[in-house]
Structure 1
Amino acid sequence: MSDFSRMNRRSFLQTAAATAGAASLGGVLAACGGSSSGSSGSTVTIKYWDWWVSQAPWVDNEIKLFQKAHPNITVKKTTQASNTFDNLYALAAKSGNQPDVSMIPQKPNFNIQVSNGWFMPIDKWANDAWKQKFPTGTFHEGNNMFNGKLYSAPFSGYAPWLQLYINNKVFKDAGLVNADGTVFVPKTWDDVTHAAEQVTKKSNGNAYGLGFGNSSFNLLFWWIELFVRGAGSPGGAYSMDNRVGKYTYGSDRNYADFLTLFKEWKTKGYFHPNSMSMTDEIARANFERGKFGMTVGGVWNQAEWSQHNFTDYTLTTLPSPQATPKAYFNYTPGGTMVALSSKTKHPDEAWAWMDWIYSPEAGKRWVSMGEDLSIFSQNNDPALVKFKPFAQYVSTAKLTLPAPDVSVRNPQTANVQVQAVKPDLGDLAAGWYTGQISDLQGSLNDLQARMQKAQDDAVKQAQQKGYKVNASDWAFPDWDPTKPYITKPGS
């Protein structure tokens, strides 16, 4: 999984809730007292920012436990909306008022944030014993280390970040059950087509086979990401194909094949007719109420549905044209989540809170509360998970494999700043779905050319600044996307 995709996976855990109405949440769990950590009995207040909305119960519980264990430290939490977080943090950094501990903004690249002086190295506290808790290869230059100094660490484990969700009752009402009475679970593109047709026809207009909500942000990326990977396109919706080191939206027929099928589902009336106009929040509610039988989303849905006492669903992932996927979800060892402000007046106390977040015990509670996997594999045993849908999610971890890591091969690639391209793949898919685009292949070819130009231009700009990078840094011709790939420095 690329850094971009990994960050999307985490940010999508709350984006739906945040964009649905939580512009900015402030939660001061406790507040008091002095600001000096040197005086006996005084209380230090640590400011902490995140963008987690649906994960707030876990965060709040950890703050409660942390403050009980550290009675002289108070954590003041502020939850910002993810779509404004980057700008708000940049403004806070500019004025010197950034929080002591914070989730790391998604833009600009982390190395740029470090070079701007936003964050503090944690090597003073993160000794070898601390690092050894994490999986092998977690810490490396160009990812969470810069100029030999460590700034952050990953928090969540690796699993397919998108799933196809199935409303069990809708499927049973449509007769989509196996001989033993269990719900039929689609595995292939044809299975999904069959199930969508069956639900739509058997419901007498009360339900549709498929649905989504696209008005708040473009979810068509998710559908492409989920369906083309198993077809053998390891770049998915967001990344280039690292076998060749290029974008392949036009040259890889899987993109056109899936989008053609996607449009066919719409033409045949299998999609809920309001999919493009309703929000993702409304779509999740409609799925819960049985208005359609299948939707694409992630594990972040589960907490909300559980709050509504909706648990009668099943999930699967990597639906493919064939029974066996030709590529899987990817990850690259490393990652980041929170970091310490370079301006904090209480570095030891700020580190104490950061260290608490990254403890295996906090990770275990993260899994037990059904939030996601933990970076610590001992916390991710499906047998220890009582909630069946979340156990299904945990068991999908085997469908995520380590992939080529450009930053390990050449850490200087962190200085390649690729500019966003518009219209993007999501815009193309929306135009195709609504009929505004008629030449699918031509549009895919054009997008591929624009994406590749943006990449090539960024490489040239980095070279002009003196960085030793090359377009070939992104190409790994020996990579088989059905097998784990371990990148070696300089390889």
Structure 2
Amino acid sequence: MDFLSRFSRRSFVKTAAATAGAAALGDALAACGGSGSSSNTITLNYWDYFVSQAPWVDNEIKLFEKAHPGIKIKKTIQLNSSYSNLYALAAKSHKLPDVAMIPPQPNFNIQVSQSWFMPVDKWANAAWKAKFPEGTFHEGNNVFNGKLYSAPISGAAPWLQLYINNKVFRDAGLVNSDGSVMIPKTWDDVTHFAETITKKSGGSTYGLGFGNSGGGQFQWYTHVFTLGAGATGGAYTMDYRVGKYTYNMDRNYYDFLSLFKEWKNKGYIYPNSVSISDEVSRAYFERAKYGMTIGGVWNQAEWTTHNFTDYSLTTLISPTETPKGYFPTSPGGTLWAIPAETKHPEEAWAWFDWLYSVDAGKRWAQQYNEDLSVFPQNNDPSKIKFKPFAAFVALGNLAKPAPDPSIRNPQTAHVEVQAVKPNLDDVIAGYYTGQLQDLQAALSDIEGRMQKAQDDAVKVAQQKGYKVSPDDYKFTDWDPTQPYITKPAQS
């Protein structure tokens, strides 16, 4: 899975929404069986799977309807985990909404080829595109066959953070001379702080904790702790310097996972972390059951509703204080699109345009503290009142542009890699719980299976006539400590 573009090929804000309820398929389809309207009012059916972000959406709807008295927005929140199937069923039944979040699967270019969405070039002129950062729109990402279909809402930032419960740190004496809590920067810092918390509390509080009953958390930890070590693929992508997965070849994975297991064996990690959910884990962190946990900015909204604000955050924990790599980012991104069958394209565009406006982005970042805005002018930490979110925004310098095969060769959008099971998260879980003893062999196995899936996908695309090759994923001139601007290949 490619994590270079949040809200494009994946989104953990979306993942956070997967815990929420949603309408049953039949009810959902019935709800969008055509856009209702009175004699003077057009009602647009709008689908998303935002849950923690719902207050921002609701406010935008209120403001939009006030500015457009002839248009009403009927919002339906769907369940992320079933959204792809739901949308496909709605497309087959010709009961699509008027504006919708793009389903995670299949690849967006395939959705476009199946006429699920319409291009927006009729309205999105040069002035509209110029509002976005340079490079936002490119073939193979949100442009297909020269036509634009979508845009990003969020800016580039480290999408995972290490959260620190300030009370736990203060109780353990982990404070600086000015009274502020110590912020871990290195693997050794985390080890020392976790040990101190566990021992000084007499075992009543743990250094670290997480909730993995829904899966994914082992990859989160691996991602945050290996990127800065120089493992440029982190837990989700290949190493683009060599164009291959390197879970076994890159020693950083073995070293970190061995350390992670050591933390467990020494009792520094909450012992039921594998069996509790991420939702429960967030509550336990809030209640000071452990001092450190990993999550995303989506945690902050929930904690704020509970009046829990006494925490700090950081990210990119590395073996050394100076990291050897950063969170990889890429220009582009997608989130919403206009279904091709809408009966109200002009009104749908008005709502689409509103969601992607600079002002909506400003409220997204500065008022509702959802994430960075795609518009850099909205991301000034000094203009954000909530200190934890301002701290998140300030982490933006730890994300740097990285190679993007889809820019150099847009035809790589046709390379559909099949999911590998057991995946990396499963393998790490097996090692953590003792089901797998030989970590080196396990990493070699997952590296081989991931690479085979990638190679097979390239071969299938080649057989379909697309001009792609394994070399499309190799960028030998990339220095992961520096921004990398991917240029289209010369034809």
Q: CA deviation at 1:314?
A: 0.1
CA distance in 2, matches of 1:16, 1:215: 14
Contact 1:213/1:280, CA 8 A, preserved across alignment: yes
Aligned residues between the structures:
484
Q: Give the SS at the match of 2:256.
A: helix
Percent identity at matched positions? Answer: 67
1:428 and 2:419 are equivalent in the alignment:
no
Q: CA deviation at 1:23?
A: 3.6
Contact 1:416/1:458, CA 8 A, preserved across alignment: yes
Matches within 5 A, 1:352-391: 352-368=350-366, 369-391=368-390
Q: Give the SS at the match of 2:43.
A: strand
Contact 1:35/1:42, CA 8 A, preserved across alignment: no
Equivalent in 204, 223, 226 of residue 225 of structure 1:
223
Matches within 5 A, 1:18-417: 18-19=18-19, 21-24=20-23, 35=36, 42-368=40-366, 369-417=368-416
Q: CA deviation at 1:17?
A: 4.8
Provide the residue aligned with 1:474 in structure 2.
473
Amino acid of the structure 2 residue aligned with 1:150: L
Contact 2:35/2:343, CA 8 A, preserved across alignment: no
Q: Give the SS at the match of 1:49.
A: strand
Contact 2:99/2:339, CA 8 A, preserved across alignment: yes
1:6 and 2:6 are equivalent in the alignment:
yes
CA distance in 2, matches of 1:83, 1:96: 21
CA distance in 2, matches of 1:385, 1:313: 16
Contact 1:17/1:281, CA 8 A, preserved across alignment: no
Amino acid of the structure 2 residue aligned with 1:104: I
Amino acid of the structure 2 residue aligned with 1:16: A
- Provide structure 1 residue ranges, at least 5 long, that are not aligned to the other structure: none
Q: CA deviation at 1:180?
A: 1.6
CA distance in 2, matches of 1:472, 1:456: 11
Q: Give the SS at the match of 1:441.
A: helix
The structure-2 alpha-carbon separation of the partners of 1:272 and 1:127, relative to structure 1 and needing over 3 Å to count, comes to same
CA distance in 1, matches of 2:36, 2:22: 29
Contact 2:4/2:329, CA 8 A, preserved across alignment: no
- Provide structure 2 residue ranges, at least 5 long, that are not aligned to the other structure: none
Amino acid of the structure 2 residue aligned with 1:431: G
Provide the residue aligned with 1:487 in structure 2.
486
1:197-235 deviation line (CA, Å, top 9, x unaligned): 000001122210000001123311101111100100111
Amino acid of the structure 2 residue aligned with 1:326: K
Worse overlay, 9-18 or 288-297: 9-18
Q: Give the SS at the match of 2:293.
A: strand
Provide the residue aligned with 1:446 in structure 2.
445
Amino acid of the structure 2 residue aligned with 1:276: V
The structure-2 alpha-carbon separation of the partners of 1:190 and 1:239, relative to structure 1 and needing over 3 Å to count, comes to same
Contact 2:46/2:99, CA 8 A, preserved across alignment: yes
Worse overlay, 6-15 or 310-319: 6-15
Q: CA deviation at 1:429?
A: 0.7
Q: CA deviation at 1:11?
A: 3.0
The structure-2 alpha-carbon separation of the partners of 1:410 and 1:324, relative to structure 1 and needing over 3 Å to count, comes to same
CA distance in 1, matches of 2:271, 2:258: 18
The structure-2 alpha-carbon separation of the partners of 1:394 and 1:24, relative to structure 1 and needing over 3 Å to count, comes to farther
1:16-40 deviation line (CA, Å, top 9, x unaligned): 3532x4244999xxx9x99569xxx
CA distance in 2, matches of 1:9, 1:56: 21
CA distance in 2, matches of 1:3, 1:205: 37
The structure-2 alpha-carbon separation of the partners of 1:34 and 1:420, relative to structure 1 and needing over 3 Å to count, comes to closer
1:288-340 deviation line (CA, Å, top 9, x unaligned): 00000000001000000000000000000001000111000011111111000
CA distance in 2, matches of 1:408, 1:10: 18
CA distance in 2, matches of 1:351, 1:184: 49
Q: CA deviation at 1:3?
A: 5.0
Contact 1:4/1:238, CA 8 A, preserved across alignment: no
Q: Give the SS at the match of 1:6.
A: coil
Amino acid of the structure 1 residue aligned with 2:301: A
Q: Give the SS at the match of 2:6.
A: helix
TM-score with structure 1 length normalisation?
A: 0.96
Contact 2:119/2:149, CA 8 A, preserved across alignment: yes
1:437-471 deviation line (CA, Å, top 9, x unaligned): 00100110111111111111111111111000010
Contact 2:209/2:293, CA 8 A, preserved across alignment: yes
Q: Give the SS at the match of 2:457.
A: helix
Amino acid of the structure 2 residue aligned with 1:57: P
Contact 1:2/1:331, CA 8 A, preserved across alignment: no
Q: Give the SS at the match of 1:351.
A: helix
Q: CA deviation at 1:7?
A: 3.9
Q: Give the SS at the match of 2:18.
A: helix
Q: CA deviation at 1:81?
A: 1.3
Amino acid of the structure 2 residue aligned with 1:76: K
Contact 2:17/2:50, CA 8 A, preserved across alignment: no
The structure-2 alpha-carbon separation of the partners of 1:380 and 1:420, relative to structure 1 and needing over 3 Å to count, comes to same
CA distance in 2, matches of 1:296, 1:206: 20
Q: CA RMSD in A?
A: 1.9
TM-score with structure 2 length normalisation?
A: 0.96
